[in-house]
Amino acid sequence: MLLSLPALHLQTSEHHPLLQLPHGRLGPWCSPTGSPAPLSCETGCGEGSWILVCRLLVPTQVSLLSMEEDIDTRKINNSFLRDHSYATEADIISTVEFNHTGELLATGDKGGRVVIFQREQESKNQVHRRGEYNVYSTFQSHEPEFDYLKSLEIEEKINKIRWLPQQNAAYFLLSTNDKTVKLWKVSERDKRPEGYNLKDEEGRLRDPATITTLRVPVLRPMDLMVEATPRRVFANAHTYHINSISVNSDYETYMSADDLRINLWNFEITNQSFNIVDIKPANMEELTEVITAAEFHPHHCNTFVYSSSKGTIRLCDMRASALCDRHTKFFEEPEDPSNRSFFSEIISSISDVKFSHSGRYIMTRDYLTVKVWDLNMENRPIETYQVHDYLRSKLCSLYENDCIFDKFECVWNGSDSVIMTGSYNNFFRMFDRNTKRDVTLEASRENSKPRAILKPRKVCVGGKRRKDEISVDSLDFSKKILHTAWHPSENIIAVAATNNLYIFQDKVN
């Protein structure tokens, strides 16, 4: 399906650079950025120290409605684990995000649903439950729509979820699909009013002639109920597909980015936004790159960064100009001519960009590597980590099955000392920035026994394969870890694999 662009006429081609790729992203672009030499790392980052806490399946609406309300949440999760056949395309997890305290974990799926998990409360008698999460709330965030003016179907898939800091007893989060951002309020209710004068106990209006006495309504205890209500709907501001949302550090504004523009919103104003970046050329034939990700600085409300499909990063300051088309800093690594290939422009596209918690560094993920940039050095990254360099010889087949266009995310741990990102065969990688060690772990259903220690996995590239190694030819490219999240203050991670959510923690002796 071609992307609907004004005055744009394209011939149908399977890999045309302006074809709309999976997940609604625009395609490959020419980039001068090549892949640097592999970084020498020895396995050992957290080796043998991560254990599986629990494996949760995103509950479908049918499963939830068919279960009785008084069933314990743990039993609900166990019933999901026994049945793997019901998973559909709509159940595939498309985003994962911890809130600022780490007590809640939200997931969004391709069916437009948001499922929130709550951390199990620790007790002296149940120390082994540290890090366990159970279903807290689930609601339908977005519905499928159809744009009749452009003859375009708008998917309900949740692209991103961002939490707002908790200010009171309620929780607030932003969720977005391709076109519309919504602000949700999630609150608890354990009391209900009783003793109305004009209504009976079932809520029906009473005949005023039968009312002879005046009653004072009272609040009665009830079973805890979690309610999710939409408070704001921010729509009709994006021509192209939204790929990022980011809450500003002033907690009054946030930005949403699509392929060619970035808009700034105020939480209290839904019918107006300010366009702060616009890279759309006057002639669409001159389009050379698109915006792939954007994020606000964690401490400075005037600074934000966005990445492009050319492998470049731009740092912008809103104090300099209302329209930030002119960047303040430009981060790009010179290309190594020896690594230039037909696929260089595709694999150099940045799929995710994240500020460190300190705000000093920027982390970017392209197809083969994770790079860490210092804000004070624009000409090259200070660290480069090879995620799956063994796939460099498989790029041709990955291009044919469209896997080369997969968008992997990357995350920091709470102290910015370890970074994590996903790979294929349900592998995910961790890199220790201090020791320069790395480890490959697997989130699979076969070894999903709770409290089981994860064994490091190794991929064999050559002909001889050891007993504990996996051949690169036997990797399953349909199993991929695209979305991950790290607890803001503890070593607890969440990894999404299709409709499964794996939660791991470091082993405590």
User: What DSSP string runs through 19-77?
Assistant: B-BGGGB------S--PPPPP---B-TTTT-EEEEEEEEPPPHHHHHTS-TTS-HHHHH
Q: Are 279 and 260 in contact (CB under 8 A)?
A: yes
Q: Are 307 and 293 in contact (CB under 8 A)?
A: yes
Could you identify the residue written with the tokens 């399953």? 476
Task: Give which of 123, 159, 104, 101 is closest to 351, Cα–Cα.
Answer: 159
pLDDT tens string 49-108: 788 888 887 665 433 333 333 334 433 343 344 344 456 888 999 999 999 999 999 999
Q: Which residue has the higher pLDDT, 291 or 65?
A: 291
Could you identify the residue written with the tokens 């349900």? 426
CA–CA–CA angle 328, 330, 336 (5° rounding): 170
From the centroid of its chain, how far is CA 319? 29
Task: Give which of 41, 164, 125, 156 is closest to 437, Cα–Cα.
Answer: 41
Question: What pLDDT score was predicted for residue 464?
Answer: 72
* DSSP states of 445-500: STT--TTPBPPP-EEE-SS---TTEEEGGG--TTSB--EEEE-SSSSEEEEEETTE
Could you identify the residue written with the tokens 């107006």? 272
Helical (H) or strand (E) element with 82: helix 73-82
Q: Are 313 and 362 in contact (CB under 8 A)?
A: yes
- Rounded Cα–Cα distance for residues 160 and 108 (Å): 7
Question: What pLDDT score was predicted for residue 24?
Answer: 32
Q: What percent of the chain has pLDDT over 90?
A: 60
Task: Specify the DSSP class assigned to residue 131.
Answer: T
Split at pLDDT 50, 70, 90, the class of 402 is: very high
- Rounded Cα–Cα distance for residues 185 and 167 (Å): 12
Residue 368 predicted with pLDDT over 70: yes
What's the whole-number average pLDDT of the chain? 83
Question: What pLDDT score was predicted for residue 19?
Answer: 32
pLDDT tens string 297-337: 999 999 999 999 999 999 999 999 889 988 999 999 988 88
Split at pLDDT 50, 70, 90, the class of 127 is: low
Beta strands in 327-456 (DSSP E): 329-331, 352-355, 361-365, 369-374, 383-386, 410-412, 418-422, 427-432, 438-442
pTM, entire model: 0.81
- Rounded Cα–Cα distance for residues 62 and 224 (Å): 22
Residue 191 predicted with pLDDT over 90: no
Could you identify the residue written with the tokens 């396995």? 43
Separation of first and last alpha carbons in the chain: 54
Q: Are 363 and 353 in contact (CB under 8 A)?
A: yes
- Evaluate whether the domain defined by 50-62+88-205+217-506 bears CATH number 2.130.10.10: yes
Q: Which residue has the higher pLDDT, 4 or 452?
A: 452
Least confidently predicted of 53-57, 290-294, 346-350: 53-57
Question: What pLDDT score was predicted for residue 346?
Answer: 93
Q: Which residue has the higher pLDDT, 142 or 35?
A: 142
132 CB contacts (<8 Å, ≥6 apart)? 53, 54, 119, 120, 503
Main-chain dihedrals φ then ψ at residue 116, nearest 5 degrees: -110, 130
Q: Are 382 and 372 in contact (CB under 8 A)?
A: yes
Question: What pLDDT score was predicted for residue 28?
Answer: 31
Least confidently predicted of 120-129, 265-274, 486-495: 120-129
CA–CA–CA angle 294, 295, 300 (5° rounding): 140
Question: What pLDDT score was predicted for residue 12?
Answer: 29
Question: What pLDDT score was predicted for residue 351?
Answer: 97
Residue 373 predicted with pLDDT over 90: yes
109-129: average pLDDT: 80
Three-class SS state of 322: coil
